[in-house]
Amino acid sequence: MNLSNIFRWIHILAGAAWLGEVVVVNFILVPALSRIEPGKRGWFLSLIFPRIFRLASILSLTTILAGAALNLSLNNWRFDVAVIRLTSTPWGWSILIGGLLGLGVTLFHFFAEHRLEPHVLTAHEETNEEAFAHILRHLRIIPLAGLGVLVLTFLLMMYAASGF
């Protein structure tokens, strides 16, 4: 097994796990959070969501780095050749746009989404229903937007993988 195949498998597995995590957040954890009785919401938030944030950090970064390494390894570690391939074919444009979307979600996660984390960590101390509603609003919108971008990214990568 060559290095490109190792990068490919890491990229695919991390990307699929990342997408799966976002699906679980959107369709299981956030709806469950809105149904939990008020006294236990903060406990649930402070127990579950920091782990979700850390897992998203690991999976997104692994996906991006493995994808970049895969692209470079397929082009004999020549950055100039990799850029030319990405901008000269439909396959390359699909990879480039998908990669930039994934990078955008990753950067958003690291620089914007983490501003929500301190509120989640102190949620067990909050009894204010308005503060919880604010957190829940963000937890409904941000992962859903991320899911849309990740699904589009997956579709672009699947298009590229089909050989076009």
Per residue in 37-73, pLDDT tens? Answer: 877 887 888 888 889 999 999 999 999 999 999 999 9
pLDDT of residue 25: 94
Flag the least confident range among 4-8, 15-19, 117-121: 117-121
Tokens for 159? 């298009």
User: Measured between alpha carbons, how far is 23 from 2 in angstroms, rounded to an integer?
Assistant: 32
pTM comes to 0.88
Instruction: Compute the half-sphere exposure of residue 33: CA atoms within 13 Å on the CB side of its CA.
Output: 27
Of 74, 88, 87, nearest to 3 (Cα)? 74
Q: Residues 153, 98: contact at Cβ < 8 Å?
A: yes
User: Measured between alpha carbons, how far is 28 from 158 in angstroms, rounded to an integer?
Assistant: 26
User: Measured between alpha carbons, how far is 135 from 123 in angstroms, rounded to an integer?
Assistant: 9
Percent pLDDT > 90 in the chain is 66
What is the identity of the amino acid at 109? H
pLDDT of residue 45: 82
CA–CA distances in Å: residue 59 to residues 12, 82, 88: 11, 24, 29
Of 106, 98, 97, nearest to 22 (Cα)? 106
Residue 122 has what DSSP assignment? Answer: T
Q: Residues 96, 140: contact at Cβ < 8 Å?
A: no
pLDDT of residue 131: 74
Mean of the pLDDT values across residues 83-111? 94
At 99-138, the pLDDT tens digits run 999 999 999 999 887 776 665 656 555 556 777 777 888 8
